[in-house]
């Protein structure tokens, strides 16, 4: 008698089991994705290296680009040829107006945009990595293609895992890290369709490869089902929005870091006899500080409401699971800290005296809080939010 009931229980419980083939496939996808991201990274490196050949021309350009008072991008659109189309980098037919004196120009009064500081056109400053070098440009395009390929494999990893366990693939730190890295790349690719940000690729791939590396070595866990506390659609809403937020905020943080570096670089160049640093060849080719700062702000501001929503969804879930929506569990506390830090950043941007470098430091501080909330709290601080198998 007991054997029968036990066998029945066995049968009932294997329904939940994992499809091992798919799980295996998922792992192979992951290794291929990492390999191809790495290749893409080298291709981006090649883009920078070959683009650096015409260094002399760039150095003088870099010095030109350091006006004392007016941000460089503010002056450009004032030139008569700065039609709207040109200012926005769009390939609209009206751009033909640049032909000057043509009938089209006469018929279409064009808007002169002069205060780029408030109009945000600066964000279209795409830097100049290739320096007009054809080989460099080819490598750049190869790098983007490889990134897209790796992105597809990377997405395949998570899809296969999801199908293997028949749930969303965000159940443990390994899966969460892989998803966040996917969102970093997604944010970059989306940005790439709208703005000339290929120069950012090399910087984006660094955290992506690192995150995936840590995920497969330190955080790896086999496919598995979830503990009952994690069965809640609110949890899925919470986790998915947190993943998108975390992924996109990587881009904001990168932009802030690059802003600080470029800003220092420009200050150095303004000195009488500027000292040169080895990484200046990178610095002189990335966009202006104003443009980087704006990119950081846009990403952070765009994501802040989503991240707020993610925290709220977490609170709703906590209410369902534990009967209280906010209990100052370490994870909750650090979410609060992160949220307040980003709010401080947004305030800083709106306040005199805190703009510029100070705001960028705040942006990085806020991102560091996010990182700590993920790695630090999950791995070193015990709370209710323990993930199954790490």
Partner 1 sequence: MSIDINADKQAADAGMSTAPQPDKYDAGQSALGARGWLRWMWRQLTSMRVALILLLLLSLAAIPSSLIPQRSVSPFKVSEYFRNNPGKAEFYDKLQLFDVFSSWWFAAIYILLFVSLVGCIVPRAWAHSKALRTKPPAAPRNMERLPAYATWETDADAADVLAAARVQLKKRRFRLAPSTDSLAGEKGYMRETGNIVFHIALIGVLLAFLVGKLFMGQGGKILVEGSPEGFANSFTQYDDFQSGALFDEKEMEAFGFKLKKLDQTFERLGTQKGAPRDFEATVEYWQGVDGKPKTGKIKVNEPLQIGGTKVFLLGTGYALDITVKDSKGKVAYQGPVVFLPQDSNRTSTGVIKVPDVSRGVQQIGFDGIFAPTVSLDPNKGWFSTFPSLDSPALILTAYHGSLGIDTGVPQSVFRLNTKAMEQYKKDDGQPWAQVLRPGETEVLPDGSSITLDGVRPWANFQISKEPGKEVALYSVIAAITGLVLSLFVRRRRMWVRATAGPDGRTVVEVAGLTRTEGGGLGQEVQALVDDLRASAPVASSDGPASGAAPKSAEAEGAAKSVAADKKDED
Question: How far does CA 173 lie from the centroid of its chain?
Answer: 19
Size of the site for ligand HEM (CB under 6 A): 5
Other Cβ atoms closer than 10 A to 47: 27
Range in contact with ligand HEM (rule: CB under 6 A) among 93-101, 129-137, 200-208, 343-351: 343-351
d(CA 378, CA 390): 8
DSSP state of 353: T
Rounded to the nearest 5°, which phi and psi values hold at 30?
-60, -45
* Among ligand HEM, partner 1, none, residue 41 binds (CB under 5-8 Å by kind): none
* Among ligand HEM, partner 1, none, residue 293 binds (CB under 5-8 Å by kind): none
Q: Let me know if 259 is exposed, middle or buried by CB neighbors in 10 A (0-12, 13-18, 19+).
A: buried
Tokens 């028949």 — which residue? 166
Mark 303-342 with x for binding to ligand HEM (rule: CB under 6 A) and - for no binding: ----------------------------------------
d(CA 147, CA 35): 11
Please, which of residues 299-318 interact with partner 1 by CB under 8 A?
A: 301-302, 304-305, 308-309, 312, 315-317
d(CA 82, CA 88): 10
Range in contact with partner 1 (rule: CB under 8 A) among 130-138, 241-249, 264-272, 341-349: 341-349
User: Are 307 and 339 a contacting pair, CB within 8 Å?
Assistant: yes
d(CA 174, CA 223): 10
Q: Is the dihedral of CA 216, 217, 223, 229 positive or negative?
A: negative
* Among partner 1, ligand HEM, none, residue 294 binds (CB under 5-8 Å by kind): partner 1
Nearer to partner 1, 9 or 35 (CB): 9
Other Cβ atoms closer than 10 A to 168: 18
* Among ligand HEM, partner 1, none, residue 322 binds (CB under 5-8 Å by kind): partner 1
Nearer to ligand HEM, 235 or 369 (CB): 369
Question: Does 44 sit near partner 1 (CB under 8 A)?
Answer: no
Nearest partner of 173 among 228, 146, 210, 211, judged by Cα = 211
Please, which of residues 245-264 interact with partner 1 by CB under 8 A?
A: none
Q: At what angle do helices 357-371 and 330-350 cross, to 10 degrees?
A: 170
Range in contact with partner 1 (rule: CB under 8 A) among 78-86, 130-138, 139-147, 273-281: 78-86
Question: Does 343 sit near ligand HEM (CB under 6 A)?
Answer: yes
Please, which of residues 346-385 interact with ligand HEM by CB under 6 A?
A: 346-347, 349-350
Selected binder of partner 1 within 27, 224, 240, 264 (CB under 8 A): 224
Please, which of residues 151-170 interact with partner 1 by CB under 8 A?
A: none
Question: Does 45 sit near partner 1 (CB under 8 A)?
Answer: no
User: Are 105 and 97 a contacting pair, CB within 8 Å?
Assistant: yes
Tokens 């209280």 — which residue? 324
Taking the complex as a whole, the smallest distance from the CB of residue 339 to ligand HEM amounts, in Å, to: 7
Question: Does 142 sit near partner 1 (CB under 8 A)?
Answer: no
Taking the complex as a whole, the smallest distance from the CB of residue 199 to partner 1 amounts, in Å, to: 19
Residues interacting with ligand HEM, by CB under 6 A?
A: 343, 346-347, 349-350
């Amino acid at each position: 008698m007991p054997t029968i009931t036990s066998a029945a229980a066995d049968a009932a419980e294997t329904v939940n089991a994992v499809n091992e083939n798919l799980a295996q496939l998922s792992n192979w996808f992951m290794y291929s994705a990492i390999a191809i991201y790495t290749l893409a990274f080298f291709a981006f490196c090649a883009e920078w290296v070959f683009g650096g050949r015409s260094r002399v021309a760039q150095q003088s350009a870099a010095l030109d680009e350091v006006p004392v008072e007016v941000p460089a991008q503010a002056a450009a659109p004032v030139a008569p040829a700065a039609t709207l189309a040109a200012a926005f980098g769009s390939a609209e037919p009206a751009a033909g107006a640049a032909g000057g004196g043509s009938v089209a120009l006469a018929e279409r009064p064009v808007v002169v945009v002069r205060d780029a500081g408030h109009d945000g056109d600066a964000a279209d400053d795409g830097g100049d990595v290739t320096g007009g070098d054809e080989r460099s440009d080819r490598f750049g395009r190869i790098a983007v293609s490889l990134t897209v390929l790796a992105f597809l494999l990377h997405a395949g990893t998570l899809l296969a895992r999801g199908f293997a366990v028949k749930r969303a693939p965000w159940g443990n730190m390994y899966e969460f890290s892989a998803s966040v890295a996917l969102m970093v790349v997604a944010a970059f690719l989306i940005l790439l369709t709208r703005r000339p940000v290929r120069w950012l690729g090399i910087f984006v791939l660094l955290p992506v490869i690192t995150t995936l590396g840590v995920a497969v070595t330190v955080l790896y866990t086999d496919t598995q089902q979830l503990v009952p506390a994690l069965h809640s659609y609110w949890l899925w809403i919470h986790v998915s929005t947190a993943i998108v937020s975390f992924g996109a905020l990587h881009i904001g943080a990168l932009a802030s870091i690059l802003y600080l570096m470029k800003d220092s670089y420009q200050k150095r160049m303004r000195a009488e006899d500027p000292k040169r640093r080895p990484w200046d060849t990178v610095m002189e080719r990335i966009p202006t500080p104003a443009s980087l700062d704006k990119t950081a702000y846009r990403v952070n501001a765009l994501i802040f409401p989503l991240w707020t929503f993610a925290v709220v969804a977490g609170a709703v879930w906590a209410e369902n699971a534990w009967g209280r929506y906010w209990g100052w569990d370490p994870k909750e506390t650090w979410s609060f800290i992160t949220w307040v830090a980003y709010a401080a950043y947004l305030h800083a941007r709106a306040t005199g005296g805190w703009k510029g470098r100070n705001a960028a430091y705040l942006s990085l501080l806020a991102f560091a809080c996010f990182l700590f909330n993920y790695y630090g709290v999950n791995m070193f601080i015990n709370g209710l939010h323990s993930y199954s198998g790490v």
